Amino acid sequence: MSDFPKASVRDADVAGRRVLVRVDFNVPLDNGRVADDTRIRAALPTIELLRERGAAAILVSHLGRPKGEVVPELSMKPVGERLAELLGAPVEQAPAVVGEDVETLAAGLSPGRVLLLENVRFEPGETENDPKLAAALARLADLYVNDAFGAAHRAHASTEGVAHRLPGCAGLLLEREVTELSRVVESPRRPLVVVLGGAKVSDKVGVIDRFLEVADRILIGGAMCFSFFRAQGIATGDSLVEEEGVKLAEGALRKAEGAACELTLPVDLMLGEEFDAATERRQVDGVEVPDGWMGLDVGRRTAAAYAEAIGAAGTVLWNGPMGAFELEPFAAGTRAVAEAVAAAPGTTVVGGGDSVAALHEFGLAGQVDWVSTGGGASLELLEGRKLPGMEALQDA
Ligand code: ADP
Ligand code: MG
């Protein structure tokens, strides 16, 4: 990881100091309990490193979208309880994000101890990147560590503003995410095969654009293939077509004509009458969708061809499910891609909230080389955009 451009917590002198750590604890809750603790686990290495080196760790995260108000259901309390279990150590919970009481707690925190602040989005200044909130956060600590890769594409007070007021360095997760994802774009083992799916072309057109210049093959699936088919004048029936995506798909098809990278679309489909697991189903050879039907998954031939390309790749990047995998009858294409990625001999990287959820559901996440914790952040990084939460940190 020698070419990571920013200062790393590994090299920081933290003993006896108070360290404010931005983590991504934006986890799903179910009845006031943490339903999936993947993101909490992903932050443990940095927290443990700080404790071992005698720092007092003050953790801050957002949770859901309270929109600048105190929403009791979005309190960090259940997160702190789960964190304490995972750490096997007590976690003190602050009654607010900032303020005098929190400053007193932070000032009294002994080396090796952990304090968790309240949901930072309870403060309206967070998403506004208000300098007053950044200053109030900075008063709590001597050093800043950003380990919230999933929020690093946002210029908020706790991800960006505060880094201008305290010496800032990257946490272990942020560093690893950036290193793994950058390697896919900058120095992949070839051939580089990129599998893209999901709902909207507009979310991913930047990534398609970049990989038309960098990858050897791009395989398209999911609802976004229908924007491409519409652009080619093919009937899409009642399939989910993003209108804005049709123009973007046209642009990508035009760019692909002159590119060394091969852009591949599905050759067959699984159709349903409605977005429902109990709906009528029909596998069609070809990609025309009659009225009254919608494409809800790629077909068997497409899935097999994509799996073969994945198996032959030196590097595979997968982002976005191949179909409406939440509906079991339309999960086969996504499962085939997930299994191929898990079994692939090449380097494998998976990003995107729903794709990662699919991997976990199929029990395959452990067989992938790098599973990214960031959806939007991973896309922006792959597009080649700078992440504000990383840019603001000190250079290496
Ligand atoms: P990720 O989070 O992995 O980046 P997206 O958020 O872009 O993925 O897309 C995931 C969503 O796309 C899922 O909810 C899935 O149901 C939906 N989807 C995929 N293919 C289709 C399809 N053919 N028709 C309708 N929805 C689809
Ligand atoms: Mg998603």
Beta-carbon contacts of 215 under 8 Å, excluding residues fewer than 6 positions away, are 188, 192, 193, 194, 261, 317
Q: Determine which one of 200, 210, 281, 300 is catalytic.
A: 200
Summarised one tens digit per residue, pLDDT across range 227-275 is 999 999 999 999 999 989 999 999 999 999 999 999 999 999 999 999 9
Summarised one tens digit per residue, pLDDT across range 365-390 is 999 999 999 989 999 999 999 999 99
Ligand 1 atom index nearest CA of 203? 7
Question: Is there a catalytic annotation at residue 10?
Answer: no
DSSP reduced 3-state for 36: coil
Ligand 1 atom index nearest CA of 357? 3
Q: Is the CB of 177 under 6 A from ligand 1?
A: no
Count other C-beta atoms under 10 Å from residue 124's C-beta: 14
H/E segment holding residue 338: helix 332-343
For residue 338, which amino acid is it? A
Q: What are the phi and psi torsion angles at 275 (to 5°)?
A: -80, 80
Gap from CA of 190 to ligand 1 centroid (Å):
28
Q: Is the CB of 231 under 6 A from ligand 1?
A: no
Count other C-beta atoms under 10 Å from residue 312's C-beta: 14
Average pLDDT over residues 168-173: 98
**Above 60 in pLDDT, residue 1?**
no
Gap from CA of 306 to ligand 1 centroid (Å):
17
Domains with residue ranges and CATH for the chain: 9-173 (3.40.50.1260), 180-383 (3.40.50.1260)
What ligand is nearest to the CA atom of residue 271?
A: 1
d(CA 334, CA 330): 8
pLDDT value at residue 2:
52
Gap from CA of 364 to ligand 1 centroid (Å):
19
Mutate to test the pocket of ligand 1, among 270, 279, 302, 354 (most ligand atoms within 8 A of CB): 354
First-to-final CA distance of the chain = 12
Handedness of CA 365, 347, 213, 1 (dihedral sign): positive
Question: Is there a catalytic annotation at residue 335?
Answer: no
Summarised one tens digit per residue, pLDDT across range 40-96 is 999 999 999 999 999 999 999 999 999 999 999 999 999 999 999 999 999 999 999
Summarised one tens digit per residue, pLDDT across range 80-104 is 999 999 999 999 999 999 999 999 9
Q: Of 324, 353, 316, 328, whose CA–CA distance to 339 is shortest?
A: 316
DSSP state of 297: E
Question: Is there a catalytic annotation at residue 376?
Answer: yes
Confidence bin at 156 (pLDDT 50/70/90):
very high
Alpha carbon nearest to ligand 1 atom 10, residue: 198
Ligand 1 atom index nearest CA of 323? 20
Handedness of CA 66, 68, 71, 76 (dihedral sign): positive
Q: Is the CB of 333 under 6 A from ligand 1?
A: no
DSSP reduced 3-state for 54: coil
Q: Is the CB of 319 under 6 A from ligand 1?
A: yes
**Above 90 in pLDDT, residue 3?**
no
In the numeric block, the tokens 């007092």 are attached to: 56
Question: What's the pTM?
Answer: 0.94
Beta-carbon contacts of 70 under 8 Å, excluding residues fewer than 6 positions away, are 122
Q: Is the CB of 79 under 6 A from ligand 1?
A: no
Question: Is there a catalytic annotation at residue 200?
Answer: yes
Q: Is the CB of 378 under 6 A from ligand 1?
A: no
Task: Round the average pLDDT of the chain to a whole number and report it.
Answer: 97
Percent of the chain residues past pLDDT 70, beyond the cut: 99
**Above 70 in pLDDT, residue 321?**
yes
- How big is the chain by its Cα radius of gyration, in Å? 22
Confidence bin at 33 (pLDDT 50/70/90):
very high
Beta-carbon contacts of 120 under 8 Å, excluding residues fewer than 6 positions away, are 60, 61, 62, 97, 126, 156, 157, 158
* DSSP structure string for 181-212: HHHHHHS--SSEEEEE-SS-HHHHHHHHHHHH
d(CA 390, CA 342): 30
